[in-house]
Amino acid sequence: MFQYEIVQEGITVEELLRESWRLGKKIVHELRMAKAVTLLDGTPVNWKDSLPAGTKLQFTFAIPSSSYTPTAKCSVEIRYEDEHCLIVSKPKGMSTHPNEAGDRDTCMNHVMAHIQEKGGQYAEHVHRLDQGTKGLLLVAKHPIAKSIFDRMIEEKSIIRTYAAEVQGNIRQESGVINAPIGKDRHHNTRRVVSASGQHAVTHFEVVKRFKGTCLVHLVLETGRTHQIRVHMAHLGHPIVGDTLYNARQTPSGDYELHAIQLAFTHPFLNKQIVVKDQ
């Protein structure tokens, strides 16, 4: 259950769901059949009626249970939370979600512990971070939010910014890497730039230069597996320590890629959300 305040004068429930939120036909049908949209006092709302700005609607619907087994306690930091979503800081070395039946210590297992502690039962990640990447991960707290945030990711209206130290000194101050990414036929986990791969676009900006390396901020326009790692290696400047993509090994034996910021216009709260991870 959640509440929503109409901000667009004269909009109908039908228009809100289909045009503003652009929910799929199945979800819209389920909400209609469940008579899920009412006024705060429970009065049913005609989906064809124009509603004045300031009208407060209540959405009441069955929320399924997510399958993640909760950890004993949540050990990931919550950077932002409201009734529709939360943003956590995933540690380096932790998987976003279980990949095998026995996985019990992934970020989503920890998130589920937090959700259940607050009386909830649903949490689904909207995007994912590689195991070796740390930083901000957006999680939906109900299916309507998941549907809308998924669409926002596809439409590039959730801006994901990363920081990485890369080998060498990139000549230009900023640029765009537009190079499709596919699987490496000779290596199970590697990805490569390939003409037959999926469309992939990364924007980068050099923010600091060191001797032999530079710090770059990167914004993902698409979200392919290993996208930043592949694109920077393709540019000739792999992430420091990323030996999978031919960088020199560091003393720690690891690479540093950090999801430092998420920014988007909240579809339910109608305000700009900017969350940073230091």
Q: The whole model's pTM is what?
A: 0.91
Question: What average pLDDT does this structure show over 141-149?
Answer: 97
Rounded to the nearest integer, the mean pLDDT of the chain is 95
CA pair distance 51, 77, nearest whole angstrom: 39
User: For the chain, what is the total number of helices (H) and then of strands (E)?
Assistant: 5, 15
| Higher-confidence position of 145 and 99 | 145
pLDDT of residue 252: 83
pLDDT of 278 > 80? The answer is no
* pLDDT exceeds 90 at position 50: yes
Catalytic residue among 49, 103, 130, 277: 130
Report the C-alpha gap between 182 and 198 in whole angstroms: 6
Cβ 162 vs Cβ 258: under 8 Å: yes
Q: Which tens digits make up the pLDDT trace of 168-187?
A: 999 999 999 999 999 999 99
Instruction: Give catalytic status of residue 130 as yes or no.
Output: yes
Structural domains present in the chain: 2-59 (no CATH), 77-155 (3.30.2350.10), 160-259 (3.30.2350.10)
Tell me how crowded residue 15 is: count the other CB atoms within 10 A of its CB: 16
Residue type, 211: K
